[in-house]
A and B are shown apart, each in its own frame.
Chain A
Amino acid sequence: MSLTLLLIQCLNGLQYGMMLFLIAAGLTLVFGVMGFINLAHGVQYMVGAYLAFAFLHLTGNFWLAALLSMLTALVFGLLLEHFIFRHLYGRDHLDQVLATFGIIIFLNELAKVIFGPATLSLPVPELLSGSIPLTPELRYPVYRLATIGAGVLVAGLLYLAVGHTRVGMLIRAGATTPQMVAALGVNIRRLFTMVFGVGAMLAGFAGVIAAPIFAIEPGMGDNILIVAFVVIIIGGIGSIRGAFLAALMVGLIDTLGRSLATLATGLILPPSMSDQVGPALASMLIYILMAGILVFRPQGLLPAKGAA
C-alpha cells in the first residue's frame, strides 16, 4: 500500500471518528448528567439525515436545509423528552432501554413508510464540492475535510461550554448531586431538558453532515449507536474529553483495520485463509480494543471527575 493511500485512509478514519464523536458526545452527556440510557440517540441521527434530505428538496439550499434540520431535530428531541423520556428518569435502566427500543422500531419503520426502503443520497453542497490536492497524484474532497473541521469546532465549543461557563458548572454539579443543586434554587428539570436538547441537536447535526457522504436509509443509526457505545466505554462514561479521544481512536483503528487487516494476516497465513480471517478480524478490532481497555482501565481512558 502506498503512502498516499495510507494518508487517505487516515483522513477517512479521522472523519469517521468525528462523526462518532458528535453522536457519542450527546449520548455521554445525557447519560453522565441524567443517568439516562437513550438507545434512541442513534435514531435521532437518522432523523437528522432524513430531515436534511426533506428540507433540501423543499428549499433547494443546503445551508438553509441544514439549519432547519438542526432546529427540527432539537424540537423533536425536546418533544420526545417531554412526552416519554421524562417519565423514565427515575426508572430502572431496563425500562429505559425497552422504551427507547420501542421508539427505534417505530421511527425506523416510519422512515421506511415515508421515504421508502431504498437508500437515498444527498449532493455535496456547491461551496464544498471540490477537492484539494494532497500529493501530485491524489486529491481529497473538501467536504470530508470540512466535516473534520466541524467536529473539532463542536468539540472545542462543548469543552468550553461544559468546563468554563456557569451553565456548564451547573450541569457538572447537577450530574453529581442533583438534589443539592435543586435545593440551591436551580431548576434542575429545565437544566436536564436543555442538556437533552443539545444532545439531540448534536445527533441531528451528525446526521445532516453525514447525509452527503453516507447512504440515508432506515436503520442507519442503529449500528453507529453501538459503535458510539464502544466509544463511550473506551473514553469513560460522562466524559467529553474521553469521548473525543476514544472516537478518534475507534475511527482510525476501524478504518485502517479494514484496509490493512487482510494485508497483515496475509503475512502469516496463506492467501486463501487470510481472505477469510482478515475481514473477520477487521470487524472485531474495535471490540478487542474495548475489551483491552476494560481489562486495564475499566473506568475508561479519561473518566469524568465525580460523575456517576
Chain B
Amino acid sequence: MVRDRAPIVAGTIFALLMVAPFGLGLIGQGYLTGLLMRAMLLAIAALALDLLVGQGGMVSFGHSAFVGLGAYALAIGLQAGIESLLLLTLIALAVSGLFALITGVLALRTSGVYFLMITLAFGQMTYFTLTSLAAYGGDDGLTLWSMATLLGTDVAQNAGQIYFVILVVMVAVWWLMHCISQSRFGRVLRGARDNPERAEVMGFSVFRYRLTAYVIAGMIAGLAGVLTAQQNEFVSPALATWQHSGDLLVILVIGGLGSRNGAILGAFFVVIVQDLLGAVMPEWRLIYGPLLVLVVLFAKGGLNRLLGPAQTGSVA
C-alpha cells in the first residue's frame, strides 16, 4: 500500500504560507501578500465546492452566489451598526446556509446537467438580486468605511493580521473537509456519487446526505465571502457572477478533483497564472481561455497528481 502523502504536502504548503509574509514583507512586497490572500480566499471557497463536486459528484455552477451572500451579509450588518466579526459571521453563515437549504431542496430534485443548470440559474438570480439592492450600492457595490472587529480588536483587519486569520480559517476548513472525507458521511457521499441506486438500496437517503453536503458547502463559501469583504473593504455583485463560479470549478479541475490539496494548489495556480499573464499583456484572457481548453483536453488528474498518489476520495 502506498503511503498517503497528502498531509505532508498540505503541512508543507501551510508552513510556507506561515513564513511567507515575513520573507515577502522584508523585501517590501506587500503586493505579494495581497496575491496570497486572494489565493487563500479562493481556496476556502474551492475546498467547500470540492465537497460537492469531488466527493458528491454534484457539479454546482452557482457556488459564488454563497460567497456574494456572505460578503453582503457582512456589509449590510456593518451598515446596520453590528461591529462584532463573530456575530456577523454567524449571520452570514445563517444566511448562506438558509439559501443553500432552500435552493438545495429544489436543485437536488434533479442531478447531473439539470443540477448544473439549476445552480447556475440560482447563482444568476442572486447576482441580479444583489445588483438591484440600490440602498447598498446596486451595480457599483459598496465601500466599507469601518470594518468588523474580532473581540474588540483589529486583528481581523487589513490594519491588523488578517493574513493569518485567513490562513487559520483555510487550515481549519482543510481539516474539516479532511475529517468529513474520512468519516462515514463522506463515504456515503462518495458511494452515492458512484452509484446512487446502490446507496439508496442500502438504506441511505441519498437526498439527505447530498442536501447536508450542499448546506455545509454553502456555509463555508459564505464564510469565504465574509473574509473576502473584510479583506477587500469593498463588496460588489461581481463576487457572485457566474464567471466567478466557473473560476472555482477551473481551480478544482486544475488542482485535481476530490483532493483537498488540489483545491489549494489550483487556487494558487489560477491566481498566479492570471496575474502573470495580466502583467505581460492586458488581453491575457486570449491565452487563459485556450489554456483551459487544453487543460481539459489533455491534462488528467490535475496538479495534485504530480505531487503524490491519489488521496482517498479522488475520482478514479
A residues in contact (CB < 8 Å) with B:
31, 37, 84, 87-88, 93-95, 97-99, 101-110, 112-113, 222-223, 226, 229-230, 232-233, 237, 275-276, 279-280, 282-284, 287, 290-291, 294-295, 298
Are A290's CB and B121's CB within 8 A?
A: yes
Q: Could you say which of A97, A103, A110, A279 has the most chain B C-beta atoms within 10 Å of its C-beta?
A: A97
Please indicate the chain A residues that have their CB under 8 angstroms from the CB of B59 in the complex: 93-94, 97
B140 to chain A, nearest CB (A): 15
The 9 closest A-B pairs by CB, nearest first: A106-B289, A102-B292, A109-B285, A105-B289, A283-B128, A287-B125, A102-B293, A280-B132, A99-B296
CB distance A98 to B253 under 8 Å?
yes
Residue of A nearest to B62 (CB): A226
Establish whether residues B286 and A110, one from each chain, have CB atoms under 8 Å apart when the complex forms.
yes
Q: Contact size class for B?
A: 35 or more
A184, chain B: closest CB distance, angstroms: 28
**Cβ proximity bits B278-306 to A, threshold 8 Å, 1 near / 0 not:** 00000101101111110111000000000
B242 within 8 A of A: yes
Chain B residues proximal to chain A, CB less than 8 Å: 53, 59, 61, 106-107, 109-110, 112-114, 116-118, 120-122, 124-125, 128-129, 131-135, 242-243, 246, 249-250, 253, 257, 283, 285-286, 288-293, 295-297
Inter-chain contacts of A99 with B (CB < 8 A):
292-293, 296-297
Given that A87-B297, A276-B134 are contacting pairs, would A102 and B129 also be in contact in the complex, using a CB cutoff of 8 Å? no
Q: Which of A101, A110, A112 contacts B246 (CB 8 A)?
A: A101
Which A residue sits closest to B242, measured CB to CB?
A: A226
Q: What separation, in Å, do the CA atoms of A295 and B132 have in the docked complex?
A: 26
- Contacts known (A237-B114, A280-B129); A229 close to B121, Cβ less than 8 A: yes
B121 close to A230 (CB less than 8 A) = yes
Q: What's the nearest-Cβ distance from chain A to residue B150, in Å?
A: 31
- Chain B residue with the shortest CB-CB distance to A283: B128
Asked if A104 and B134 sit within 8 Å, CB to CB, the answer is no
Are B129 and A103 touching (Cβ within 8 A)? no
Inside 8 A of B286's CB, which chain A residues have their CB? Answer: 106, 109-110, 113
Docked pose: A99 CA to B295 CA in angstroms: 8
Residue pairs across A and B with Cβ atoms less than 8 A apart, 13 shown, are A37-B113, A93-B116, A97-B61, A98-B296, A101-B246, A106-B288, A112-B283, A279-B134, A283-B129, A284-B125, A284-B129, A287-B121, A295-B109
B113, B114, B288 — which one has the most chain A CB atoms within 10 A of its CB?
B113
State A112–B283 Cα separation when bound (angstroms).
Answer: 9
* Given known A99-B292, A280-B133, A284-B128, contact A222–B242 (CB-CB < 8 A): yes
Contacting pair B285 A105 (CB below 8 A): yes
Instruction: Give bound CA distance, A280 to B125, whole Å.
Output: 9
